[in-house]
Amino acid sequence: MPQWDFLNFVSSQGKKFRTFDLLMEHEAVGLVQENGRIRGVQVKTANGNSEIHADLVVGCDGRHSAMREAAGLALDEIGVPIDVLWFRISRRPNEANAGLGNFNYGKAIILINRGDYFQAGMIIAKDSFDSVKSLGLPAFRENVRRIVPFLGDRVDELTDWAQIKLLSVQINRLRQWYRPGLLCIGDAAHAMSPAGGVGINLAIQDAVAAGNLLALPLRQKQVSEMLLRRVQKRREFPVRVTQMLQCGIHNLLQRVFRNHSAVRVPTVLRALMRLPGRQQLLGRMIGVGVRPEHIRTGLG
């Protein structure tokens, strides 16, 4: 399916496009620029190249954003010491709903309950996938079994490297999320680590904040650069705080990588894990975040 690489608030300049048509038939490949302002997007369609003009283009096309690149927005990269190898492995009905992490022997695996299977992620040192593959698939299966013993013989479900997908982890953020006529949100503005699984939460919160601040000005055709700056100002704080916490998690993982023996949980950490309300606090941090957003109604 062609990509829908933008969220386009279509102006009232004569043409209207149905969302379904845009999704199925148009791929944004560039920006329409005029006198220093973004006026719309260049698209590829089954019938050739075209342009769609808009009062505002919202770049939400992910961490490899074509809209961000076309706009020439500067990106600050934050060093990340890990990558993740994602794979599926079957789950039995009586097993735990989810696992934040299994750490042992210098390695780590997270398990996410997807019903009849676990979505599993082995956390590895940055750019070390080739080294992992060179040891062979039997060694990989044995590492999974050793870190998460209850998976037992289910590791034999992994029969081909094609079942194991590399996620090259990034943490970055734009210095400026906007240009006149363009706003970047979500991973296009700030790539997040999978630590905590909060990337989608922040992206949706960005969209809600943008909708709250820009809905009425869009109707009045008065979306100024100052308003786009307000969106960034509101959302940049939770992004920075979350990325700081994720970098702290990465530092802990580096300590795990350095210890190749069986992990012994410190007494202080065991005590903290027993504190009442711990799960609720962690759930709120992951599920709600630093600055939750709520859709405002009655915006004109």
Per-residue pLDDT reduced to its tens digit, 46-99: 888 989 899 999 999 999 999 999 999 999 999 888 899 999 999 988 886 555
**Of the listed ranges 45-59, 161-175, 202-216, 221-235, the one predicted with least confidence:** 45-59
- With tokens 């089954």, the residue in question is 46
For position 107, what pLDDT does the model report? 74
| Whether the model pTM is above 0.75 | yes
Half-sphere exposure of 249 (CA within 13 A, CB side): 19
Question: Which segments of the chain does DSSP mark as H helices, in order?
Answer: 19-25, 66-71, 129-134, 137-147, 199-219, 225-258, 267-273, 278-287
Q: pLDDT band for position 296 (50/70/90)? A: confident
Mean pLDDT in the chain?
Answer: 82
For position 114, what pLDDT does the model report? 87
How far is the C-alpha of 200 from the C-alpha of 244, rounded, in Å? 17
Coil, helix or strand at residue 111: strand
How many CB atoms within 10 Å of residue 246?
Answer: 21
Quote the distance between the C-alpha of residue 90 and its chain's center: 25
For position 286, what pLDDT does the model report? 66
Q: pLDDT band for position 2 (50/70/90)? A: very low
* Amino acid at site 250: H
Contacts of 41 (CB under 8 A, 6+ apart): 6, 8, 28, 29, 30, 31, 32, 51, 52, 54, 57, 67
How far is the C-alpha of 63 from the C-alpha of 192, rounded, in Å? 9
Residue (of 38, 58, 2, 24) closest to 187 by Cα position: 58
Q: What is the DSSP string of 206-236?
A: HHHHHHHHHHHHHHTT---HHHHHHHHHHHH
* Residue 242, both tokens: 């979350």
How far is the C-alpha of 85 from the C-alpha of 141, rounded, in Å? 13
Residue (of 1, 40, 39) closest to 23 by Cα position: 1
pLDDT of 279 > 80? The answer is: no
Share of residues in the chain with pLDDT > 90 (%) = 52
The alpha carbon torsion through 36, 67, 183, 244 (nearest 10 deg) reads -130
How far is the C-alpha of 289 from the C-alpha of 294, rounded, in Å? 12
Half-sphere exposure of 135 (CA within 13 A, CB side): 10
CATH for the stretch 7-77+172-243: 3.50.50.60
Contacts of 223 (CB under 8 A, 6+ apart): 55, 56, 181, 214, 217
How far is the C-alpha of 36 from the C-alpha of 180, rounded, in Å? 8
Would you report the helix, strand and coil content of the chain in percent, each value rounded to 5?
40, 25, 35
